[in-house]
């Protein structure tokens, strides 16, 4: 037995390495095992599908027809089957799908499938319909094209996920994210085999769900932007059709100002309240001894924020009814209660709450929060829901089935973390979003190499979630904020840990980006639209040459800068149309340029040199052209210095190329001087930074430094 197991592991490694070397494949996430053979199955207008299954599941047939039509649109071949049904059972169809049983998307579902393509046919087999849904997505990514037309390469794939919880959190409270936009994101999640939408539906800035029992929640707690119950149900169904469950989050006891706009009696202080950020609340309710806050950590630790009153029995009666109402809309067995970032200051301001704590022998507001979480845990149990909370819920008395959602970077030196995921997992099931925050603008490779997922798989670590908070994302730019980077997270959660080649990730990620935009997201098209807005309808050519190599500043520096601007009050409606709001977090131009520099420095390849040279000349000359666009355009003031610096950096790069040619790169004074200048150009300026400075420095030093494994978040 042991020998067989060992052999399996060996073979498995071989397959994975093989898979990484297959640079023609566009699969993302990469399957667990694959063997690529020679030859192909040619896709023609006669492409047909049959189903060998005794299941009458409409979700399954809808998914098959969606895939079939997507392929029909992709190839333009005008396929002949109008609608594939259980009656289509022919053995001789082009694609035969065989499943044994029907399954609904649940966390414990078997999601495995196998896919074989030979020159005569394509076969997709799965133990159940959910596995088949995953396999259909693989098939959709497998197509390719040559001068003879479209084809699937001959291949054998055996696939199943590494983690059972592969989520994406979308915050619909800060900037409201529309119903249609949510659907598009569900389509994208399905494409990369994610299976949980964690929907952050309430926060200080907005209550985004219609309650029929407590209508003042959405009426007073939002600016009119909320989901009706019909929309919520439709979205849950839309997700289910794609093998995705929806877990709602109603954040409490903090992050809850919007609840109190309609129901101030639930809060620890009398109010009145209206939806708005913590910073806004502070401005409107200044206290003499509030310390000055200059960082996110300060805000969390020192700013008072409206909070539920855990000593008020009416709160639990209210929440009992509310949870019951929501449980009827969200059938998944989980509800997320947030419970993050409550510093207890508001509780300490209320003498009745302080007296209650004394009376019940509570030493600190942490004890009171623990009590609150326990009460909500039991309310959720009553409604057959399991509690999930951010890691602040963690303590040694937390019920063993409550799920702890890790988010705070361990050892960050600013915000106290509950502990490492692996330690928390010795007591409770754990979800990890630490290192997966998309709103901190990290390049995809940072998420991909998230050290939290390097460890041996622990069954109590259920998986993880990418997290998109929306202080700086709205309906226009959110697709480009989440995608394609969430694809790196999806692969980390689905594929074996051994699949870790960053260059190959980027190759496939940019292909995914194009595919998602083509399928209806705006991850690329919003960028182009927004550039036209910035040039007031004039040509975007020269602006784009610059913005293609700009990326947003990493971490929460942008958030801190905006939060403390005297003019900034409402995140809910702030327009997100500045350069920093629209540029890609991963610049494709940078990745290509980096690749060329890598080739050139190691081989002195003439073709790479010529391409580097022409790119540098383009950047050098662009600033002059851009001056015309900058004239009288105040909105572009933020990038004028970058334009000058890119031109100057490119000039240094050209100089360096000349020196390398003459074997003169050892001029150490020159190298030091130019590198120092380039370092300055590489610094963030306003809310963006030039992404290609490390590669130009490499031309100067003759050495391409590895990219940092991570960047500071705070």
- The residues facing 203 across adjacent strands are 206
Element (H, E) at 53: none
- Locate tokens 């707690």: which residue? 221
Q: Which residues share a beta bridge with 432? A: 406, 464
Q: In angstroms, give the least distance from the CB of 196 to ligand ACM.
A: 16
Return the number of other C-beta atoms located less than 10 Å from residue 162's C-beta: 18
* Residue environment code for 77-108, b if the CB has 16+ CB neighbours within 10 A, otherwise e: bebebeebeeebeeeebbbbbebbeebebebe
Nearest distance from residue 177's CB to ligand ACM, in Å?
A: 17
- Nearest distance in Å: CB 391, ligand ACM: 8
Per CB under 6 A, 57 contacts ligand ACM: no
Interstrand relation of 688-690 and 550-552 (parallel, antiparallel or unpaired): antiparallel
Between 4 and 43, how does the x/- string for binding to ligand ACM read (CB under 6 A)?
----------------------------------------
Residue number with CB closer to ligand ACM (113 or 407): 407
Q: Of 390 and 441, which CB lies nearer to ligand ACM in the complex structure?
A: 390
Say how far apart CA 339 and CA 376 lie, in whole Å: 11
Task: Please tell me whether residue 390 binds ligand ACM under the rule CB under 6 A.
Answer: yes
Does residue 203 touch ligand ACM according to CB under 6 A?
A: no
Looking up tokens 């939806």, which residue turns up? 275
Q: How far apart are CB 77 and ligand ACM at their closest, in Å?
A: 47
User: What is the β-pairing status of strands 33-42 and 165-171?
Assistant: unpaired
Minimum separation from the CB atom of position 407 to ligand ACM (A): 5
Shorter beta-carbon distance to ligand ACM: residue 437 or 593? 437
Q: Which of 140, 128, 150 is nearest to 187 (CA)?
A: 140
Q: What's the token pair of residue 601?
A: 């420095």
Q: Say how many residues touch ligand ACM, by CB under 6 A.
A: 4
**Least spacing, CB of residue 341 vs ligand ACM, in Å:** 5
* Residue number with CB closer to ligand ACM (403 or 647): 403
SS3 95: strand
Instruction: Mark residues 602-641: x for contact with ligand ACM by CB under 6 A, - for none.
Output: ----------------------------------------
- Taking the complex as a whole, how short is the minimal distance between the CB of residue 553 and ligand ACM, in angstroms? 19
Decide if residue 88 touches ligand ACM (CB under 6 A).
no
189-213 core/surface letters (b: 16 or more CB in 10 A; e: else): bbbbbbbbbbbbbbbbbbbbbbbee
How many angstroms separate the CA atoms of 324 and 383, rounded? 6
Q: Which residue is nearest to ligand ACM (CB)?
A: 340
Q: How far is CA 59 from each of CA 24, 287, 683, rounded to the nearest angstrom?
A: 32, 56, 51
Q: Which of 436, 592, 400 lies closest to 507, judged by CA?
A: 592
> Measured from the CB atom, is 340 or 474 closer to ligand ACM?
340
Cα–Cα dist 191/193, whole Å:
6
DSSP structure string for 552-598: EPSTTHHHHHHHT-TT---STT----SHHHHS-SS-HHHHHHHHHHH
Residue 407 touches ligand ACM, criterion: CB under 6 A: yes
Among residues 549 and 559, whose Cβ is nearest to ligand ACM?
Answer: 559
Given the complex with ligand ACM, which of 131 and 275 has the nearer CB atom? 275
Print the binding letters for residues 334-353 with ligand ACM: x by CB under 6 A, - otherwise.
------xx------------
Question: What's the min distance (Å) between Cβ of 382 and ligand ACM?
Answer: 26
What is the nearest approach in angstroms of ligand ACM to the Cβ of residue 408?
A: 8
Helices and strands of the chain, counted as H and E runs: 27, 18
Comparing CB distances to ligand ACM, the nearer of 159 and 341 is: 341
Residue 293 beta carbon to ligand ACM: minimum distance, rounded to whole angstroms: 16
Question: Which of residues 211 and 417 has its CB atom nearest to ligand ACM in the complex?
Answer: 417
Nearer to ligand ACM, 203 or 581 (CB): 203
Task: For the CB of residue 340, give the shortest distance to ligand ACM in the complex, in Å.
Answer: 4
Take residue 533 and report the two structure tokens written for it: 């807005």
Q: Is 612 left (phi over 0), alpha (psi -120 to 50) or beta?
A: alpha
Nearer to ligand ACM, 506 or 571 (CB): 571
Residues making contact with ligand ACM (CB under 6 A): 340-341, 390, 407
């Amino acid at each position: 037995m042991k020998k067989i197991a060992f052999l399996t592991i060996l073979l498995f490694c071989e397959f994975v390495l093989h898979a990484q070397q297959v640079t023609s494949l566009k699969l993302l996430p990469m399957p667990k095992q694959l063997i690529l053979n020679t030859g192909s199955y040619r896709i023609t207008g006669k492409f047909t599908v049959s189903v060998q299954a005794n299941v009458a599941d409409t979700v399954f047939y809808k998914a098959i027809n969606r895939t079939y039509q997507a392929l029909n649109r992709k190839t333009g071949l005008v396929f002949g089957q109008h609608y594939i049904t259980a009656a289509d059972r022919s053995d001789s169809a082009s694609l035969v799908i065989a499943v044994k049983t029907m399954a609904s998307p649940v966390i414990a579902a078997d999601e495995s499938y196998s896919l074989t393509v030979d020159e005569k046919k394509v076969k997709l087999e799965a133990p159940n319909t959910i596995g088949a849904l995953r396999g259909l997505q693989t098939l959709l990514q497998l197509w390719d094209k040559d001068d003879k037309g479209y084809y699937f390469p001959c291949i054998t794939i055996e696939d199943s996920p590494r983690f059972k919880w592969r989520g994406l959190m979308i915050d619909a409270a800060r900037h409201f994210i529309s119903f249609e936009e949510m659907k598009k994101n569900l389509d994208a999640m399905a494409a990369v085999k994610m299976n949980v939408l964690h929907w952050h539906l309430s926060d200080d800035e907005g209550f985004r769900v219609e309650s029929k029992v407590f209508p003042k929640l959405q009426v007073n707690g939002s600016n009119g932007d909320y989901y009706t119950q019909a929309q919520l149900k439709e979205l849950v169904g839309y997700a289910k059709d794609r093998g995705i469950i929806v877990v709602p989050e109603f954040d409490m006891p903090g992050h809850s100002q919007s609840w109190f706009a309609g129901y101030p009696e639930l809060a620890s202080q009398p109010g009145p309240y209206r939806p708005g950020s913590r910073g806004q609340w502070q401005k409107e309710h200044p206290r003499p001894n509030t310390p000055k806050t200059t960082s996110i950590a300060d805000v969390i630790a020192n700013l008072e924020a409206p909070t539920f009153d855990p000593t008020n029995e009416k709160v639990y009666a209210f929440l009992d009814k509310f949870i019951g109402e929501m449980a009827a809309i969200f059938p998944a067995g989980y509800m997320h209660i947030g419970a993050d970032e409550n510093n207890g200051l508001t509780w300490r301001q209320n003498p009745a709450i302080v007296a209650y704590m004394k009376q019940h022998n509570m030493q600190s507001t942490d004890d009171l929060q623990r009590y609150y979480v326990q009460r909500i845990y039991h309310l959720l149990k009553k409604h057959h829901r399991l509690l999930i909370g951010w890691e602040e819920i963690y303590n040694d008395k937390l019920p063993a089935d409550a799920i702890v959602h890790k988010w705070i970077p361990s050892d960050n030196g600013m915000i106290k973390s509950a502990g490492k995921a692996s330690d928390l997992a010795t007591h409770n099931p754990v979800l990890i979003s630490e290192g997966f925050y998309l709103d901190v603008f990290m390049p995809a490779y940072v998420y991909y190499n998230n050290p939290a997922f390097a460890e041996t798989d622990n069954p109590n670590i259920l998986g993880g979630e990418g997290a998109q908070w929306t202080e700086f994302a709205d309906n226009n730019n959110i697709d480009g904020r989440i995608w394609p980077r969430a694809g790196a997270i999806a692969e980390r959660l689905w594929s074996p840990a051994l699949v870790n080649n960053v260059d190959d990730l980027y190759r496939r990620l940019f292909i995914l980006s194009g595919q998602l935009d083509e399928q209806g997201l705006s991850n690329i098209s919003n960028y182009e639209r927004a550039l036209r807005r910035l040039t007031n309808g004039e040509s975007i050519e020269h602006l784009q040459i610059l913005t293609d190599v700009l990326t947003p500043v990493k971490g929460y520096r942008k958030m801190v800068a905006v939060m403390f601007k005297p003019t900034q009050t409402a995140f809910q409606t702030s327009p997100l149309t500045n350069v920093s709001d629209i540029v890609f977090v991963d610049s494709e131009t940078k990745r290509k340029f980096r690749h060329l520099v890598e080739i050139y420095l190691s081989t002195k390849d003439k073709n790479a040199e010529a391409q580097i040279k022409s790119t540098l000349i383009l950047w050098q000359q662009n600033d002059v052209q851009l001056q015309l666009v900058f004239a009288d355009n105040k909105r572009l003031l933020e990038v004028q210095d970058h334009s000058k610096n890119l031109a100057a950096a490119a000039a240094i790069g050209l100089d360096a190329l000349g020196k390398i040619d003459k074997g003169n790169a050892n001029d150490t004074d020159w190298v030091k001087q130019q590198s120092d200048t380039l370092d300055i150009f590489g610094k963030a300026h306003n809310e963006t930074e030039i992404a290609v400075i490390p590669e130009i420095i490499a031309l100067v030093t003759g050495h391409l430094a590895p990219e940092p494994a991570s960047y500071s978040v705070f």
